[in-house]
Structure 1
Amino acid sequence: MTAFSLDPARTARCAELRALAAERLRPLAEKGEPGRVNRPLVAELGQLGLLDALFEERGEAGAGAGAGGSGALDLCLMRESLAYACTEAETALALQGLGAHPVHAHGTRAQRERWLPPVRAGQAVAAFALSEPGAGSDAAALGLTAEPDGPDGWRLTGEKCWISNAPEADFYTVFARTAPGAGARGVTAFLVPADRAGLTGAPLDMLSPHPIGALDFDGVRVGGDDVLGEVDRGFRVAMTTLNRFRPSVGAFAVGMAQSALDATLAHTAERTAFGGKLKDLQAVAHQVAEMATRTEAARLMVYAAAAAYDREGPRGEGIARRAAMAKLIATETAQYVVDAAVQLHGARALRRGHLLEHLYREVRAPRIYEGASEVQRTVIAKELYASLAPAPSSAPTPTSGEEPSA
């Protein structure tokens, strides 16, 4: 139970989500193939109405019992609850949100009507295609070019890499350079269906078990009706999407940390060693106390960042800093907690199929994607110094991550 004030309906909803994840989603996840999109799992998320919650506005009817809609805090609670019991389900849900949120927030009516209903139903898979082989943390250095083709069109040429759900997604939110030499101001976001001529891809064999791949654009034709937002203003589309999802990446991490902590509490309370229970050894008890304290601190920062986003909106003062702080502390904490849990469990935690073996593989990637920890520290420091003096800086600021997934 957290010290953060959650109303009873939200608390009950979290318990319900944990039960759904364990009873209905985990069996589907276990049947999936690592590194591939698990479409039955995505479809079940849609059937349960969980994908709907990603796109409902706060206060909208049917947005979840007592949750007041799909605000950033509700998204965090959902991701934390799912991650506790089934990381694969949490990731599948988050990737749908990340890939389709730009359509929801910046798309035209036609784009929204074409793609959001099947995404919400779990029948279409979305992907967020920002990172490239030479432009991960420095997203303003994107090299995928959009060359003019006629009065209202472009040809996309180049590569994307470390794209979650690639190459199996049904459509991609793609960020390409439309104004050479303009940095962040020359990027445009496009909605690109997977069946466009010239678009190919290949899966990448990664540590994380969820699907990640590379995309190749060989003169892929896009038109004005494929633009998301405004031409040359796509960087804003990317950053508002990432700022919305960064605190909830922290929630994913908190869910994993809590799962590892609870497993450790149960193990150390039952395991006998040196004539007594492990929990009676001071070194063990203090380690568990540290794990619990760090997990709770991370949870509170995640909730605070999400509540600030809900209260002030994506352009509110300090929103980027809070989002960066939440992601930073939560992902670093989860790495610490899972590692400590493995140590306290011993060799059994290294056996393939053990909960902690699974979490150990899952927990590493969030410290890199959607802005590596070093990038978050850069964002935090920049925001802090900007509050002291309005002096402009010519130094580029990293703003994204090597693998923009959830």
Structure 2
Amino acid sequence: MTDWLDWPFFEDEQRRLARELGEWSGQNLVHSHGKDVDAECRTIVVMLGRNDFLEHCVARGGQRPSVRNLAVARATLAYQSGLADFTFAMQGLGSGAISLFGTAQQREAWLPRVGRGQAIAAFALTEPDTGSDAARIATSAVREGDEWVLNGEKSFISNGTIADVLTIFARTGSAEEGARGLSAFVLPMATPGIEIAERIETIAPHPLARLKLDNVRLPASALLGEEGRGFAIAMQTLNLFRVTVGAAALGFARRALDEAIAFTKGRPLGDAMLADHPVTQARLAEMALSVDGSALLIARAAYEQDKAPEADHRRAAAMAKLHATEEAQKVIDAAVQLHGGLGVTKGSKVEELYREIRALRIYEGASEVQRQIIGKDLVK
């Protein structure tokens, strides 16, 4: 699955990362989704940290994370384990705003620990009544002397049950100010007043939670970036990692295609194998076309973000995420169909992929939001 790395968008650094991480994940990652997903995620974070792979998630030497490295790592991990991809991605997204906007003190306090797998990070933006419309956030942060006091709820927070630190977004201005009234904070989970109000179960088990904040007090130094710039911080962080969601989908799709090829080549049909049937070959061709189309869009978007980080790459990133996640859903569905009854049997790889892919079309900007981003950019 490394043939896309031969394209001119990538350099030796990404090829080496793919080779090393591919070998390591093949030897160390097993079928995920056991009985204790929290413990499994903690174990994977520690393993990734000990082998220096999480260093790609955080700013190093004052440099922002490489989007190409993140994309290659996520595609490689997703090919092997959806849960491993999840843990890697959340270390990046959860600490991304600190990498981009944190003070020297904030970066020194958290980024080395996140990069070594010694602290688990989370990104707390979504609320029970706000999903894609983040400007309507209701969680409040009120300044009292040298402290901020936070009250409210956050929902569907990845790593919410196991996180050590949150990048959390709250309203410091009035509701009428909308997006201009939001600010970002660095919130250690050990802070008094935070409650895991609900564990959220999904079709692909992950450590998701609804969090309740009751008079959570933070020092003034917990403010991340400038007051009132929270929405911009959230959007820039999401833009940095959006392409990598498509890369994870690419990893899932490539695995589904490989599983389908292997299965059909070994499945008897009449006097030949299922793979010898023209209908099967046509289906596999369509799957391969989707996979390579996604890979091209991801490679372009990641390359552009690395080479010109200050430019506006929202349209390319939105195209990469939209195409890769939507097409991966189709590729995996086709793989399930080719497997027949075995494709929907619990425990099979394609059944696992079928459950894993669905959320990627929703989180970090649903497909409908990506279409709006692309359309607005085209007509502005």
TM-score range, shorter chain: over 0.9
Q: Is the 8 A contact 2:77 2:251 kept in 1?
A: yes
> Any idea what the Cα deviations from partners look like across 1:232-255, whole Å, max 9, x if unmatched?
101111111100100000000000
Q: Which residue of 2 aligns with 1:75?
A: 70
- How many residues align structurally? 374
Q: Which residue of 2 aligns with 1:103?
A: 98
Q: Is the 8 A contact 1:144 1:159 kept in 2?
A: yes
Quickly say closer, same or farther: Cα 1:58–1:341, change in 2 above 3 A. farther
Normalising by the residue count of structure 1, what TM-score does the alignment of the two structures yield?
Answer: 0.88
Quickly say closer, same or farther: Cα 1:9–1:320, change in 2 above 3 A. closer
- Cα distance in 1 for partners of 2:61, 2:350 equals 36
The reply to whether residue 179 of structure 1 matches residue 183 of structure 2 is no
Q: Is the 8 A contact 2:322 2:361 kept in 1?
A: yes
Q: Which residue of 1 aligns with 2:190?
A: 195
- Cα distance in 2 for partners of 1:47, 1:303 equals 28
Quickly say closer, same or farther: Cα 1:13–1:250, change in 2 above 3 A. same
- Cα distance in 2 for partners of 1:290, 1:58 equals 43
C-alpha displacement of 1:8: 5.1
- Cα distance in 2 for partners of 1:337, 1:91 equals 20
C-alpha displacement of 1:167: 2.6
Amino acid paired to 2:44: L
The reply to whether residue 157 of structure 1 matches residue 161 of structure 2 is no
Amino acid paired to 2:85: E
Q: Is the 8 A contact 1:165 1:211 kept in 2?
A: yes
Q: Which residue of 2 aligns with 1:232?
A: 228
Quickly say closer, same or farther: Cα 1:191–1:13, change in 2 above 3 A. closer
Unpaired runs of 5+ in structure 2?
A: none
Aligned match of 1:45 in 24, 34, 48?
48
Q: Is the 8 A contact 1:37 1:211 kept in 2?
A: no
Q: Which residue of 1 aligns with 2:111?
A: 116
C-alpha displacement of 1:11: 2.9
- Cα distance in 2 for partners of 1:158, 1:7 equals 45
> Any idea what the Cα deviations from partners look like across 1:303-322, whole Å, max 9, x if unmatched?
10111111111x413x0111
Helix, strand or coil: the match of 1:105? helix
Helix, strand or coil: the match of 2:212? strand
Quickly say closer, same or farther: Cα 1:169–1:376, change in 2 above 3 A. same
C-alpha displacement of 1:364: 0.3
- Cα distance in 1 for partners of 2:100, 2:71 equals 19
The alignment-based identity, stated in percent, is 41
Quickly say closer, same or farther: Cα 1:36–1:362, change in 2 above 3 A. farther
Greater relative contact order: 1 or 2 (C-alpha under 8 angstroms, separation 6 or more)?
Answer: 1
C-alpha displacement of 1:148: 2.7
CA RMSD across the alignment: 1.9
- Cα distance in 2 for partners of 1:37, 1:127 equals 16
Amino acid paired to 2:131: G
Aligned match of 1:359 in 350, 353, 363?
353
Q: Which residue of 2 aligns with 1:54?
A: 57
Point out the structure with the larger helix share: 2
Unpaired runs of 5+ in structure 1?
A: 61-68, 387-406
